Amino acid sequence: MANYTVADIQALRERTGAGMLDVKKALDEAEGDVDKAVDVLRVKGLKGVSKREGRSASEGLVITHIAAGGAGQVGTLIEINSETDFVAKSGKFVTLAEAILKAVVDAGAADVDGALAAPVADGKTVKEFIDENAGVLGEKIVLRRMARVEAPVVVDYLHKTNKDLPAQVGVLVGSDDKASEVARDIAMHIAAYSPLYLSRDEVPADVVDNERRVAEETSRNEGKPEAALPKIIEGRMNGFFKENVLPEQAFAKDPKTTVGKVVAATGGEVVAFARFRVGA
C-alpha cells in the first residue's frame, strides 16, 4: 500500500479540487508522492474529457472585470461552471476563473467562441486551459457565457446566494456620468429583480405577439366581456412590461417609484446592463 496519510489526501483535494476516490487512486499510483499524484490526475483527466462531455455542469461562479476603454469603461462578466459546489468553492477553481477572465479581457473577446480561442500561457488557448484543469479537478468545466458592457461609466455587483460559495449572481450596468450616482443601486436591483430588457423596444416582436395571444386567450377563457377585452389585454401587456423591462420595474429600494424615475431624477440614463445567475 502506498505511503500517504489522511493529511496528504486532504492536501491534494484542496490543491486540485478532485474527488476523494480519484485522489486516493492517484496517490496509490504515485506511491504517495503528492506532486506526481497531481500529474496523474491531470493525465487521467485529459483522457476523460470526452467522457465528461455529456455530464451536467450547473454549479460554478460569476466574475467581473472593469477597465478604461471604448466609450469610457469596458466591463466583462463571465460565468464558469462546474459539476459540484465542492469544486466551485475550491481555490483551484477560483484561480482558474481569474486566469480565464484575464485572458478574455486581454484578448478583447466579444463572445464565448472568441473567449475560448483567447491565449492564456505557454501557447494554450482558454479551451485547452479549461480541458487541462478539468482533468485535474475531475469534473466537466464550462465557460458558459460572457458579456461585455461599454459605456462612459460601468459598475458591477456580485452577490452570494450562499455564504460558503463564490458569487452566484453577477451584474454589469453601463450609464452616462449623471446616472452613475445611482448605477450601483440599479445593479443591486437588477440582481434581485432580474429584468430582461432595457426598454420596450428591445422586447422581440415574437415575444410581444405571444404574450398578447396568451393575454387574449386567458381573458376569453375567464369569460371576460368581448367589449372589455382590448382594455384587459392592454392591462395584462403592461403588467408583462412592468415585470420584465428595467425602467418600468418597481425600484427595489423604494417600490413606490420605478427604476426609470430614479434614473430620470439624475438627468442621466442607463445605456446597457447584463445579468448572469449561475446555472439559470
> For residue range 78-127, what is the model confidence (pLDDT) as tens digits?
999 999 888 899 999 999 999 999 999 999 999 999 999 999 988 899 99
Residues with Cβ within 8 Å of residue 132, at least 6 apart in sequence: 42, 45, 46, 124
- As a whole number of angstroms, the distance between CA 242 and CA 261 comes to 13
Q: Is 235 helix (H, G, I), strand (E, B) or coil?
A: helix
The pLDDT, as a whole number, for residue 16 is 66
Domains 6-47 and 59-200+247-277 share a fold: no
Q: Report the amino acid identity of residue 275.
A: R
Q: Report the amino acid identity of residue 12.
A: L
Domain ranges of the chain: 6-47, 59-200+247-277, 204-244
Q: Please tell me which residue, 26 or 232, carries the higher pLDDT value.
A: 232
Q: Please tell me which residue, 272 or 49, carries the higher pLDDT value.
A: 272
Q: Is 89 left (phi over 0), alpha (psi -120 to 50) or beta?
A: alpha
In DSSP terms, 68 is beta-bridged to 73
Q: Please tell me which residue, 153 or 51, carries the higher pLDDT value.
A: 153
The secondary structure element, H or E, covering residue 256 is strand 254-258
Q: Over 60: is that where the pLDDT of 54 sits?
A: no
The pLDDT, as a whole number, for residue 81 is 94
Q: Please tell me which residue, 215 or 38, carries the higher pLDDT value.
A: 215
Q: Is 123 left (phi over 0), alpha (psi -120 to 50) or beta?
A: left
- As a whole number of angstroms, the distance between CA 140 and CA 135 comes to 8
β-strands 169-175, 250-251: how paired?
Answer: unpaired
> What CATH architecture is 204-244?
Orthogonal Bundle (1.10)
Radius of gyration of the chain (CA): 24
pTM above 0.75, yes or no: yes
Contacts of 215-223 with CB under 8 Å at 24 or more apart are 215/240
Closest listed residue to residue 263, CA positions, set 146, 138, 177, 168: 177
Encode pLDDT of 198-227 as tens digits: 999 999 999 999 999 998 998 888 888 888
- As a whole number of angstroms, the distance between CA 187 and CA 171 comes to 6
Which fold, 59-200+247-277? Tetrahydropterin Synthase; Chain A (3.30.479)
> What CATH architecture is 6-47?
Orthogonal Bundle (1.10)
